[in-house]
Amino acid sequence: MNQDATYASQSAPSPLTINVRQFIDVQPFSNYQIMIMVVCAFLVGMDGFDALAMGFTAPTVARQLHISKMALGQLLSSGLVGMMIGALVFGPVADRIGRKPVMIGCTLLFGVASLLTAFCESFGSLMIYRFVTGIGLGGVMPNAIALTAEYMPFRFRATGTTIMFSGFALGGAVGGYVSATLIVRFGWPSVFVVGGIVPIAIALVALVMLPESARFLVLKGGEERRLAAYLQRIAPQADLRQATLVLEERRATGFKVKHLFTEGRTKLTLLLWCIFFMNLLDLYFLLGWLPTMFFEAGISVKGAILITTVLQVGGTLGCPLMGRMIDRRRSYMPLAALYLGAAFFIFLIGRAGSSILLLVLTIFPAGFCVIGAQTNSNTLAAEAYPTSIRSTGVGWALGIGRIGSILGPILGGVLLSLGGNPRNVIWAASIPALLACIAAYAVARHLAQATEPDPVAATAAAGK
């Protein structure tokens, strides 16, 4: 984070040698960068729609296919297992072959699998297609985060990346309203038809409009003309015809994952994994089970879905607001406060009972905190690692987090099947948020200590 600022504050490179990172940092924010952010937001938005589609349709699917709560928990988790595998596999793959082909290929994969889900008539086929859908979803996220972060100037990086990723929450929110209407009028399969056709169309648009990562192309080598064309779109007035484009980073070789634990990254990596694990456990427990619990409390299917959608609405607002605060303070300490707020408001959801007004008043701020914090944790992960392992770092953080997201619905199903009071089950969900708060505080302290100026060096510089 501060390393980027250091590069940007250095003297400008010679006309014949241009540092790509510094070049992007010092240019005015362009329409081309906005386009990248928006297209990635649409990809992630359909990611959000499809990721949550099973939760929205769960009450109806369970009733029509006679699926028990225990089996429903497994079904909700099948897509999350796929998302974990997709993130763990396609993060490193993208660091080798590029962000763009992986994003587009994975979007087409989950679009086709979603369409096939609409024609399932058995529990087993649903499990298989939701698993394949999850693989595609898991491959899109880390690369959309990495690509957006790499094209954002350092002064707008957290804000731009969180605005992009708020597409996930917005896609989930829109998906809730669309699902509530479609299920009543056309049945649950219609949700997956929409969730398949739209991402395929967006993938074709992205194929034409999205660039490859400029930093990735520098490290790859042999792509000077293509790279110069991308940078020219950011700064049309710049003359790059004779320029040598460089990047002050080494290319990581060998097994990418091992580099997450070298050069002093072990503590940061483990703390990030803790944050992602705990928060995604909470998020997917809430998204997977709230509609069903509200329905069983006497609220209609449509009402249960719409109330749960308020979680996504709160997250949509929380993402950019917290991103802007982080950019201004150049600190991730607000993450700890967000996770503390998440624990508090999740606890209050359990106190709201079946009152629609109280549920809305508690779910909205819970979404602001849980989803807002998760999105800014994504930005933190993208900034924590250099270009050559950025998709690997974000992908593995999300992949480890997916273990939590898998356990969330399963634990909910187990606790409810054992006769647990839904109120007490929701209260228990505040504990992971508290643990994420502690880990986020430790991350912020770690980063602050890592970027403190060396007092001996500062004294020597002052003496000069």
pLDDT for 392-409, tens place per residue?
A: 888 899 889 888 877 887
- Read off the pLDDT of residues 194-205 as tens digits, 9 standing for 90 and up: 989 999 999 999
Tell me how many degrees the CA angle 125-128-132 measures, rounded to the nearest 5.
140
Q: How confident is the model at residue 254 (pLDDT cuts 50, 70, 90)?
A: low
Beta strands in 73-210, from DSSP E residues, in sequence order: none
- Read off the pLDDT of residues 308-347 as tens digits, 9 standing for 90 and up: 878 878 877 776 777 777 777 666 788 888 899 999 999 8
Using CA atoms, how far apart are residues 145 and 385, in angstroms rounded to an integer?
A: 12
Among 82-91, 250-259, 385-394, the least confident range:
250-259
Using CA atoms, how far apart are residues 106 and 109, in angstroms rounded to an integer?
A: 5
Name the phi and psi angles at 306, rounded to 5: -65, -40
Decide: 53 and 194 in contact? Cβ < 8 Å.
no
Q: How far is CA 450 from CA 203, 382, 403, in A?
A: 40, 17, 29
Using CA atoms, how far apart are residues 377 and 368, in angstroms rounded to an integer?
A: 14
Q: Which long-range contacts (CB under 8 A, 24 or more apart) does 11-15 make?
A: 15/239, 15/242, 15/243
Name residue, tokens 């010092």.
26
Give the global pTM.
0.74
Beta bridge partners of 18: 245
b/e for 332-371, b at 16 or more Cβ within 10 A?
Answer: bbbbbbbbbbbbbbbbbbbebeeeeeebeebbbbbbbbbb
Which structural domains are found in the chain, ordered by start?
Answer: 13-449 (1.20.1250.20)
Beta bridge partners of 245: 18
At residue 87, does pLDDT exceed 80? Answer: yes
pLDDT at res. 54: 78
Decide: 226 and 212 in contact? Cβ < 8 Å.
yes
